Copies of this chain bind each other. A is one copy, B any other.
């Protein structure tokens, strides 16, 4: 069983990475895996306590600012820090630290099945006092606002005073990096403390962001079990300090329950709400918390787990990734999944297309209620996207921001930012996928069609007819090493899909629910001519094709450029973006990530198998996978094409990317999209699963390294289990009505019994 992440290293770089790896979260609250007692002075550490979407607004600086460059961006805040608990032993007050004294035993664990992390330490102070310490921390999946710490202290060769000093600190700043465009280099200090104090047994800090004026409060309750103790409260300008002093003769247990509230979810009275939530938990014990957590995770894993027999290391990778996705995904209209989840500050806590293309699929087929919440977030920012389209000179439509928290564009380098118009198509695509996978007609009527309409309108405005084709100029596709091009294959293909579905959805609605159709048409001023215009543009969409190479060129001029000189590029020069000016990259055929290959996955019916295969072969040679969004797609497509070894190799790169820090920046947070990509590489790749209008289909192949793999999905109110070994496939309808699906292109009828199919 691989349900536990373990790491004992105290090396500085490992500790930094572990802060991300051992992060806890519940989609609302995120806490990096920092040590309660702190580090040696000067040790690099990124202390992080985040509330999803809780942000400040900061100015974006420009050397030369052009029209419609966003003035400001949102930035996820490092919020009030409640992690710190220092412990002092004896009259000499020897502080507990893993960097002094002697470590007799040390173990650090994250329990993926139980949802907490712990540290077990057997430690001797410099003066020789021997103690055992056991830290447990939990961010509750059930009690959204709760982050709790429990510390058990057991004396071994010593009895005497122990002093526990716990702080709740509002004097915090965001992490500031240098020379890495993926980390912010400005704006550290954004939180202002408004009030600190004590009330009854609670210590609290209220803080407010500088510009967005969002408030947050942290209300903490401290308790020592198994002993009498003295409690002292002390407040300073920006923090409260609670000191508990007792005589240590037998094991004692310290607990710290922290409740976080903020203006977005709890309106103005963040402190009162904090008290209220604390009071409602007064009777709960730590054991209760663990029990609730276990129950929540049992439900989650029942559907989400992928078991791999035959590779412990990959098994650990996939479970870890799924667990971290669950911890990071927002579940309300204000929030989504940041590029780094709630595990770090890379990319400013912004939401990207990563959500739609790399993460929604996981939730859609395992926990569709969460997928729906993610879609709703986009619906609630539709007005902002329509406003952005206007700013960008479009007469109609919705242009979703490339990166954002509250819905406005936060991208300052538009070439690989705002120019990625495809994000509007990606969002439309995910609404369609949701509809196809859930058959949730009401949701589609209420939200989906409107999003399809407004995104289709964007394509009409941005594109133009040229020699009979509908063409889209001056946009950037997913590949960020090739920017601002004409007729990017990916963009055109997804725009085509978007346009034709906007047409289809309206036609369907008119047919099935005329009243709803009239209501929508009236509200959005949709005309019959407009609907036909979408169809015409979609059907006329230009999809570049090169006869000679029999591939889809990435854009109009891609194939005319020189091919990057990979042979003479030193290994150290990867990722290229950190070693070459963008102009240099734009000048060559070199891809950061899957672009046309990704389009061939998402919209495989646009091209015949040969074109897809030749394109894969072509792009594989010139793709660096400098983006963590790339390998999973190449794995999926290698599976489809029949390159089984490649499929497996690419999969391996995704599965343990953060666990092994292969991109070197795990410290800044985990690569959430890649984590979704691991799941996709198995389900869409090895199992060949697709969700289309025609239904569910599968075409599994199992890597020869594995004995067996098993996963479950939810699909149109049914639960299915798919198990694949080297000989057979079992597809089980666990729950729900019988269903026709396709297996290797052959229709099969699923009933509630185990059905083995041979390869």
Contact = CB atoms under 8 A, between A and B. Distances in A.
B412 A581 contact: no
A587 B181 contact: no
Contacts of A284: none
A179 B65 contact: yes
Interface stretch (A66-74, A95-103, A225-233, A363-371): A66-74
Nearest to A393: B584
A548 to B, nearest CB: 12
Interface stretch (A526-534, A572-580, A608-616): A572-580
A413 B146 CA distance: 46
Interface in A42-75: 60-69, 73
Contacts of A67: 577-582
A586 B415 CA distance: 12
Contact of A583 (B62, B413, B418): B418
Given A61-B62, A464-B562, A68 B474 contact: no
Interface in A67-120: 67-69, 73
Contact of A582 (B414, B471, B483, B577): B414
14 contacts: A62-B62, A62-B412, A64-B417, A67-B579, A67-B581, A68-B581, A393-B584, A418-B583, A474-B583, A474-B586, A483-B484, A484-B484, A556-B556, A557-B557
Nearest to A560: B466
Interface in A466-501: 466, 471, 473-475, 483-484, 486
Contact of A66 (B186, B475, B582): B582
A683 interface: no
Q: Contact size class for A?
A: 35 or more
A587 B462 contact: yes
A389 to B, nearest CB: 11
A745 to B, nearest CB: 39
Contact of A581 (B63, B391, B580): B391
A411 B562 CA distance: 26
Contacts of A186: 61
A413 to B, nearest CB: 4
Nearest to A58: B63
A549 interface: no
A561 interface: yes
Contacts of A578: 67
A419 interface: yes
Most buried by B among A65, A66, A483, A579: A66
From DSSP, what is the main secondary structure of chain A's interface residues?
Answer: loop
Given A474-B587, A560-B466, A581 B66 contact: yes
A490 to B, nearest CB: 17
Q: Can you list the 9 inter-chain pairs with the closest CB atoms, starting with the nearest?
A: A63-B412, A61-B61, A393-B584, A68-B581, A474-B587, A464-B562, A64-B413, A60-B63, A474-B586
Nearest to A467: B560
Contacts of A584: 392-393
A661 interface: no
Interface string A390-421: 01110000000000000000011111011100
Contacts of A413: 62-64, 66
A602 to B, nearest CB: 24
Contacts of A556: 556-557, 560
Nearest to A559: B466
A486 B588 CA distance: 11
A279 interface: no
A471 B473 CA distance: 22
A230 B709 CA distance: 101
A473 B582 contact: no
Contacts of A313: none
B583 A392 contact: yes
A391 B577 CA distance: 13
A185 interface: yes
Interface string A586-604: 1100000000000000000
A546 to B, nearest CB: 14
A484 B65 CA distance: 18
Contacts of A418: 581, 583
Contacts of A73: 63
A681 B418 CA distance: 41
B63 A580 contact: no
A422 B586 CA distance: 17
